[in-house]
């Protein structure tokens, strides 16, 4: 299989982590791609040119990180990421992380490509509020989750937090969200995270 990624993309990192957790790294070739390029090879498999894109052995392109993880989870019994037991809890947590990641990513992309947009614009302020609310909600929830639970929810939330550290370091969430900080530190030494740093 082929996996098209960009190592600064949080969505790509989610899938790379999942590949390692599922023990599928020997079955997948990684290809770096620029989703903003007009001739990106990913366009053949995903006209939206969003990363990551997984190309199956049959040549079928699967896009969107959650859908790719769902496919990978079906290929190996190792470390179930979308377990049938308590699936709703895993997907709920993943949804919170996905919302946080989307708001942070959109903020970064807007600042990069639309520099004339005011930080006080309606959409910019809304994204800032989404980030603040979601961080607060996650801080209130992580304490009630089993500390050894590791699902797609934990992956997405952790990667979203790491992305904020990488691209939006001025957001001082660790002091304001001590439980979330403890969650982040607890998983930071996990091999699948240390092996897939942002660049």
For residue range 25-72, what is the model confidence (pLDDT) as tens digits? 999 999 999 988 888 889 999 999 999 999 999 999 999 999 999 999
According to the model, what pLDDT value does residue 133 have?
A: 98
pLDDT digits (tens, 9 = 90+) for 162-194: 999 999 999 999 999 999 999 999 999 999 999
**Topology of 2-75 in CATH?**
Glutaredoxin (3.40.30)
Q: What is the mean pLDDT of residues 120-125?
A: 79
Between CA 104 and CA 171 the distance in angstroms is 10
Strand 29-32: give its sheet, edge to edge.
29-32, 2-5, 53-55, 61-63
| Residue recorded with tokens 């190309």 | 55
User: Which CATH number is 87-194's, of 1.20.1050.10, 3.40.1360.10, 3.40.50.300, 1.10.10.10?
Assistant: 1.20.1050.10
Residue 93, token pair as written in the block? 């947590």
Between CA 193 and CA 186 the distance in angstroms is 11
- The CATH 3.40.30.10 portion of the chain extends over 2-75
Question: Cα dihedral angle (57, 33, 100, 104), rounded to 10 degrees?
Answer: -170
Any residues with CB less than 8 A from the CB of 5 and at least 6 apart, and which? 12, 15, 16, 30, 31, 32, 33, 51, 52
- The CATH 1.20.1050.10 portion of the chain extends over 87-194
pLDDT digits (tens, 9 = 90+) for 92-102: 999 999 999 99
Q: What is the mean pLDDT of residues 117-133?
A: 85
**Run of H or E residues at 55:** strand 53-55
| Residue recorded with tokens 């001739």 | 39
According to the model, what pLDDT value does residue 43 have?
A: 92
According to the model, what pLDDT value does residue 116 have?
A: 74
Q: What is the mean pLDDT of residues 75-102?
A: 96
């Amino acid at each position: 299989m082929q996996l098209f990624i960009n190592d600064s993309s949080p969505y790509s990192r989610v899938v790379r982590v999942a590949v390692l957790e599922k023990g599928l790294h020997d079955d997948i070739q990684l290809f770096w791609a620029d989703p903003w390029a007009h001739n990106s090879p990913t366009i053949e498999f995903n006209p939206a040119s969003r990363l990551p894109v997984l190309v199956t052995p049959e040549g079928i392109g699967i896009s969107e990180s959650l859908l790719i993880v769902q496919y990978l989870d079906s290929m190996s019994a190792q470390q179930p990421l979308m377990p049938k037991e308590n699936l709703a809890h895993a997907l709920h947590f993943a949804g919170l992380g996905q919302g946080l990641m989307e708001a942070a990513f959109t903020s970064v992309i807007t600042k990069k490509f639309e520099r004339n947009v005011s930080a006080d614009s309606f959409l910019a302020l809304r994204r800032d509020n989404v980030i603040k609310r979601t961080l607060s909600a996650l801080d209130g929830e992580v304490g009630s989750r089993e500390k050894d639970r590791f699902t797609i929810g934990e992956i997405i939330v952790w990667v979203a937090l790491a992305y904020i550290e990488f691209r939006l370091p001025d957001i001082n969430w660790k002091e304001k969200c001590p439980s979330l900080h403890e969650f982040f530190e607890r998983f930071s030494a996990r091999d699948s995270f240390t092996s897939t740093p942002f660049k």
